[in-house]
Amino acid sequence: MSSANVKDQNQPRKEMKSTGLKKCFTALVDRKQVNLDIDVLNLMLKKELLINLDVLDKNLAEVLPVMLVMYMKTWPGWQRSKEYFSGKLNFKDWYEKFRQYIVVRLNYLIKNGYASVIEEMKREKKRDVDRLNPIKTYTEHGSQTDALAPKSFAPFSICINCPPSVVNSVVFGDSEDDIILRHHPELLWTNIDTMQLIHWPFIEVEFFTPELSFKRRNCFEYTRYINFTNIPLTYDKCEYIDQIEIIDPSNGRNCYTLNMLRCYVKEYMSILKSVKDIDVDVLKVGIILNQFLADIEEINMNNTMATNTSVVFNIGRSVFLRNKKISRASYTTKGPNNPVGYSEIIVPKVETSLIFFKGVQDLNTPEVSFSYLNIIKNCLKSNDVKSAINPIKPLIIYKCSFCQLNLKEEAAIIKHLQEVHKMDPNVICIKCKKSLSVCLLSSVRWKHICTTNPISLQQHSKQVPITLK
């Protein structure tokens, strides 16, 4: 704390030019009731915040005074009043942050038009409802957010619109009392195969033949926030099966055993393999089908799966995190010993959907086989193999749900990931804190077994080096 700060606080009002906004701020700091009429607010907008109301859309210009009041009330900086009253925060700087916040928020509305005001109002209404939630035991003084409120999260969220590669490289830190956002160099791409691709974040694959259609969607759950890196992360254990949904409620459902689906896939694959020179990558089709069967096994609903049904589950049953902070060497800080960083909690989730299955068992054969596949097999005995195989050739579509992109070629979707998303950074197991690559996890269905438990670490440290003489 410098002596200048103290002086400034003892006589803050004399030194400053009295303006409407500053008067309001001062009154709010002193927790006084503030009454403002529209004309005063409009004057503040025009003269102090330099907004030319006359050129704005009429609707927008009319609501700006209301929004100004709202931003004055909901400024997150009110939480620092404790610091101000204890002399750690300079009045002038605190006011400047307040003014800047209002300028930025109002300019955002002006740039994005009347619709953004409506959205903002809806959000504020929701926040009001949350505030009135009786579970929260703290009280508020007037319209201000109480600095002593027990909160695990700040009363605001940050929305960043950015290309997908930035999601993988953004990082937050602090510099003095500002939060800074940076973007670290993107990671080098490593080539991935079909197995990895269909377990890659945001990737969907749809499989379609006349008798079998399913979809797998990687819908990982990300919780991203800025926090103090010296505070340990807490995470409530998630449900293994998240949701089971009927895809089309107007349609019926049939239940099949995993065994029956396996038999069908086996016979189907043997037909594809028996045909030479077809323009189908049999190996890839096999991987996609087997991973779908592995989903049903992993979901473990009595080893059955119903058609017209989708299931969301925590594939691999692990939870991971990423902790990113800007290295202290790259910027200076005078702030307290609470370094700010950026954290992500990642729950790998897959939505697997059996859209339909129409395989009918052929009861005339000694082994389990299917009528339609047997018809195809008979047709293949004729000369024109290529046209005989045509009806059961699969249609496979890949999607990137982040970019809403559909592509038929595997190479094209990998290229999209490589060029637009770039490589995903490693994740850390929430239990054993081991760093693991997305390439590795995606090749093993996100399965990870913690190997370094505290006991083995202890044993390790007790080992005595042996010297050979």
Please report, as residue ranges, which positions from 374 to 413 form the binding site for Zn ion (by CB under 5 A): 400, 402-403
| Contact flag: residue 430 with Zn ion (CB under 5 A) | no
How far apart, in whole angstroms, are the C-alpha atoms of residue 435 and residue 426? 6
CB of 116 to Zn ion, least distance (A): 26
Nearer to Zn ion (CB atom), residue 349 or residue 448: 448
CA distance 151 to 116: 27
User: What minimum distance in Å lies between the beta carbon of 421 and Zn ion?
Assistant: 5
C-alpha span between 434 and 261 (Å, rounded): 37
CB of 131 to Zn ion, least distance (A): 37
Q: Phi then psi for 392, rounded to 5 degrees?
A: -105, 10
Contact status: 28 vs Zn ion (CB under 5 A): no
Alpha carbon distance 389, 278 (integer Å): 9
Residue among 220 and 402 whose Cβ is closer to Zn ion: 402
Beta partners for 304? 257
Question: Which span (26-34, 134-142, 377-385, 431-439) binds Zn ion, by CB under 5 A?
Answer: 431-439
Residue labelled with tokens 């009041």: 69
Which of the stretches 82-90, 109-117, 295-303, 424-432 binds Zn ion when contact is defined by CB under 5 A?
424-432
CB of 430 to Zn ion, least distance (A): 8
Q: Is 127 helix (H, G, I), strand (E, B) or coil?
A: helix
Nearest to 223 by CA among 204, 236, 239: 236
Residue closer to Zn ion by CB (options 1, 450) is: 450
CB of 258 to Zn ion, least distance (A): 28
Q: Determine contact, residues 280/393, Cβ cutoff 8 Å.
A: yes
- Give least dist CB 202 to Zn ion, A: 6
Cα(264)–Cα(292) distance, rounded to whole angstroms? 13
**Runs of H (alpha helix) within 158-281:** 164-167, 194-197, 258-274
Considering the complex, what minimum distance in angstroms separates the CB of residue 320 from Zn ion?
9
- Is 450 among the residues that bind Zn ion (CB under 5 A)? yes
Asked if residue 432 binds Zn ion (CB under 5 A), the reply is yes
Q: Is 415 in the site for Zn ion (CB under 5 A)?
A: no
Report the candidate in 339, 88, 359, 316 with the shortest Cα–Cα distance to residue 214: 359
The contact pattern for Zn ion, residues 290-319, with x = CB under 5 A and - = no contact, is ------------------------------
Q: At what angle do helices 20-29 and 91-112 cross, to 10 degrees?
A: 120
Rounded to 5°, the CA angle 81-85-87 comes to 120
Closer to Zn ion by Cβ: residue 190 or 406: 406
Taking CB under 5 A as the binding criterion, the range among 98-106, 381-389, 406-414, 423-431 that sits at the site for Zn ion is 423-431
Least Cβ distance, residue 61 to Zn ion (angstroms): 39
In the region spanning residues 136 to 195, those forming contacts with Zn ion, defined by CB under 5 A, are: none
Residue 203, interface with Zn ion (CB under 5 A)? no
Query: Least distance in Å: CB of 410 to Zn ion?
Result: 15
Residue 31: CA count within 13 A, CB half-sphere: 9
List Cβ neighbours of 204 (8 Å cut-off, separation of 6 or more): 215, 216, 217, 218, 398, 399, 400, 401
Comparing CB distances to Zn ion, the nearer of 327 and 451 is 451
Residue of 126, 431, 453, 457 that binds Zn ion (CB under 5 A): 431
Q: Is 429 a binder of Zn ion (CB under 5 A)?
A: yes
Q: Are 428 and 436 in contact (CB under 8 A)?
A: yes
Directed axis angle between helix 91-112 and helix 3-10, to 10°?
A: 80
- CB nearer to Zn ion: pick between 79 and 443: 443
How many residues in the shown chain lie near Zn ion by CB under 5 A? 7
CB of 407 to Zn ion, least distance (A): 10
Comparison of 266 and 431: residue with beta carbon closer to Zn ion: 431
Q: Spell out the alpha helix ranges (H) of 133-251.
A: 164-167, 194-197
List residues near Zn ion by CB under 5 A: 400, 402-403, 429, 431-432, 450
